[in-house]
Chain A
Amino acid sequence: MHNPFTLGGKTILVTGASSGIGKAIAIESSKMGANVIITGRNEVRLRETYSQLVGSGHDLIVADLSVKEDIDRLHKELPMIHGLVNCAGLTKVAPFPFANRNSFEEVMNVNFFAPTELTRLLVKSKKISKGASIVFISSVSGVYCSAVASSIYSSSKGAVNGLAKGVALDLAPKGIRVNSVNPGMIDTDIFTGSAITDEQLKTDMQRYPLGRYGKPEEVAYAVIYLLSDAATWVTGSNLLIDGGYTLL
Chain B
Amino acid sequence: MQKDEFLVNFANQFDDTDPSEITLDTVFKDLDEWCSLLSLSLIAMCDEEYGVKVTGNDIKNSSTVGQLFDLVNNKK
Contact = CB atoms under 8 A, between A and B. Distances in A.
Given A193-B55, A194-B55, A195-B55, A95 B40 contact: yes
By secondary structure, the A interface counts as: loop
B60 A195 contact: no
What is the size category of the interface that chain B forms with chain A? 10 to 19
A93 B40 contact: yes
Interface stretch (A15-23, A196-204, A217-225, A240-248): A196-204
Contacts, number: 42
A107 to B, nearest CB: 14
A193 B57 CA distance: 8
Contacts of B60: 197, 199
Contacts of A200: 36, 56
A96 to B, nearest CB: 10
Interface of A: 93-95, 97-98, 100, 148-149, 193-200
Given A93-B43, A94-B40, 16 more contacts: A93-B40, A94-B44, A95-B40, A97-B41, A97-B44, A98-B47, A100-B48, A148-B36, A148-B37, A149-B37, A194-B56, A195-B44, A195-B56, A197-B56, A200-B36, A200-B56
